[in-house]
């Protein structure tokens, strides 16, 4: 069962651009070497930042994104260390029973007083591709992939009316972003924080891996208002 699951998951991720070539052996010592270089450069070039980060953190953005290694929020936004408070999982799915996520959200909005919540998905999401394969995921993947499948199953006529498989994947990626944003918005944690601080906003973004560009996902498009989540 586990071997079968891993096989079709690899196929799903391969469909979205992941390499299927054998990986070269990786020496983790390289990370320590790079850390020394980065540490020395940062302390020399940004001593004030180092002092500030050693004292506290004051991130401005709460980022909810996919765990895909190609979608690193600090890098793709050109941000500095300490600017973004990050939560990443399979396909940026927010599920109502995810205690870890809502602990993160509560801490972000209350202790850190972050005002911008950004839900970001990406073109070519392997989690979405895997969900479209209609096969049983592993025990711990199921809540994430089944949530995505639910969007498609509840709106089969809408997806049947789309053209290519790429278009189906793209729209499901966008609708999954919107669904996660709505799950945040409906939560007691968010509503309580919003009452205390009305300035809190939710943003829905899409990252295109092919051209490295972020764009806004419009939540109120007429065609999306008819979608059932």
Tell me the binding residues.
66, 68, 122, 125
Residue with tokens 């190609």: 70
Record the tokens describing residue 115, joined without a space: 């005002």
Q: What's the chain's Rg over C-alpha atoms?
A: 19
Record the tokens describing residue 32, joined without a space: 């320590």
Record the tokens describing residue 119, joined without a space: 């839900």
- Do residues 128 and 172 lie in contact, with contact meaning Cβ atoms separated by under 8 Å? yes
Q: Report DSSP state, residue 151.
A: H
The binding site for Zn(2+) comprises 66, 68, 122, 125
Sign for the CA dihedral angle at 97, 220, 85, 206 comes to: positive
First to last CA, the chain: 30
Q: How big is the chain, counted in residues?
A: 229
- Do residues 92 and 145 lie in contact, with contact meaning Cβ atoms separated by under 8 Å? no
Measure the CA–CA gap between 41 and 180, rounded to whole angstroms.
38
């Amino acid at each position: 069962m586990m071997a079968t699951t891993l096989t079709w998951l690899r196929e799903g991720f391969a469909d979205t651009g992941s390499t299927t070539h054998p990986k070269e052996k990786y020496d983790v010592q390289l990370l320590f070497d790079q850390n020394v270089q980065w540490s020395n450069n940062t302390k020399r070039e940004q001593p004030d930042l180092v002092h500030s980060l050693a004292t506290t953190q004051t991130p401005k953005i709460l980022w909810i994104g996919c765990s895909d290694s190609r979608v690193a929020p600090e890098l793709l936004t050109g941000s500095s260390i300490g600017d973004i408070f990050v939560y990443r999982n399979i396909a940026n799915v927010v599920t109502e029973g995810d205690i870890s996520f809502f602990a993160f959200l509560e801490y972000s909005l209350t202790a850190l007083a972050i005002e911008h919540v950004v839900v970001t998905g990406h073109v070519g999401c392997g989690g979405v591709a895997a969900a479209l394969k209609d096969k049983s995921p592993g025990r711990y993947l199921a809540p994430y992939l089944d949530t995505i499948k639910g969007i498609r199953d509840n709106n089969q006529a809408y997806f049947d009316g789309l053209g290519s498989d790429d278009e189906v994947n793209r729209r499901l990626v966008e609708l999954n972003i919107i669904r996660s944003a709505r799950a945040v918005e409906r939560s007691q944690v968010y509503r309580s924080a919003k009452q205390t601080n009305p300035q809190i906003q939710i943003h829905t973004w899409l990252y295109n891996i092919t051209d490295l560009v972020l764009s806004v996902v419009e939540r109120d498009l007429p065609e999306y208002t008819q979608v059932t989540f």
